[in-house]
Amino acid sequence: MKKLLPTSTAGSLPKPAWLAQPETLWSPWKLEGEELNEGKQDALRVVLHDQQSSGIDIVSDGEQTRQHFVTTFIENLSGVDFEKRETVRIRDRYDASVPTVVGEVSRQRPVFVEDAKFLRAQTDRPIKWALPGPMTMIDTLYDDHYKSREKLAWEFAKILNQEAKELEASGVDIIQFDEPAFNVFFDEVSDWGIAALEKAAEGLKCETAVHICYGYGIKANNDWKKTLGAEWRQYEDVFPKLQNSTIDMISLECQHSRVPMDLIELLRGKKVMVGAIDVATDTIETPEEVADILRKALQFVDADKLYPCTNCGMAPLSRSVARDKLTALSAGAAIVRCELSG
Applying CB under 5 A, which residues contact Zn ion?
Answer: 213, 312
- What angle, 0 to 180 degrees and rounded to 10, lies between the N-to-C axes of helices 319-341 and 33-53? 30
Minimum CB distance to Zn ion, residue 277 (Å):
12
Using DSSP, state whether 308 is helix, strand or coil. strand
Which residue type sits at 202? Answer: E
Comparison of 41 and 311: residue with beta carbon closer to Zn ion:
311
Amino acid, res. 38:
E
Find the shortest distance in angstroms from Cβ 313 to Zn ion.
6
* Cβ nearer to Zn ion, comparing 146 with 182: 182
In degrees to the nearest 10, what's the CA dihedral of 54, 41, 313, 32? 140
Task: Report the nearest approach of Zn ion to the CB of residue 219 (Å).
Answer: 16
Give the H or E element holding residue 103: strand 94-107
Q: How far is the CB of 251 from Zn ion (least distance, A)?
A: 8
3-class SS at 73?
helix
Q: Pick between residue 143 and residue 285 the one whose CB is nearest to Zn ion.
A: 285
Which residues, 6+ apart, have CB-to-CB distance to 218 below 8 Å? 25, 316
CA nearest to 200, candidates 240, 155, 139, 241: 155
Residue 263 CB burial class (10 angstroms; 0-12, 13-18, ≥19) = buried
Query: Cβ closer to Zn ion: 213 or 276?
Result: 213
Distance CA 96, CA 7 (A): 34
Considering the complex, state which of residue 6 and residue 132 has its C-beta at the smaller distance from Zn ion.
Answer: 132
The least CB distance from residue 133 to Zn ion, in Å, is 11
Q: Please state, in angstroms and as integers, the Cα–Cα distance from residue 143 to each residue in 69, 105, 139, 174, following that order.
A: 19, 11, 10, 31
Q: Based on CB atoms, which residue is closest to Zn ion, 309 or 328?
A: 309
Closest to Zn ion by CB, 154 or 214? 214
Residue 179 C-beta: closest distance to Zn ion, Å? 9
The closest alpha carbon to 182, from 142, 153, 152, 146, belongs to: 153
Give the whole-angstrom CA distance, residue 252 versus residue 233.
12
Spatial contact of 151 and 195, defined as CB atoms under 8 Å apart: no
Residue pair 108/163 in contact (Cβ under 8 Å)? The answer is no
Which residue number, 112 or 154, has a Cβ lying nearer to Zn ion? 112
Q: Do the Cβ atoms of 196 and 235 come closer than 8 Å?
A: no
Minimum CB separation of residue 214 from Zn ion in Å reads 8
Instruction: Work out how close the CB of 102 gets to Zn ion at its nearest, in angstroms, rounded to a whole number.
Output: 29
Q: How far is the CB of 316 from Zn ion (least distance, A)?
A: 12
Query: Closest CB to Zn ion among 69 and 142?
Result: 69
- Cβ atoms within 10 Å of 50's Cβ, excluding its own: 19
Strands of 142-143's sheet in order across:
77-90, 94-107, 142-143
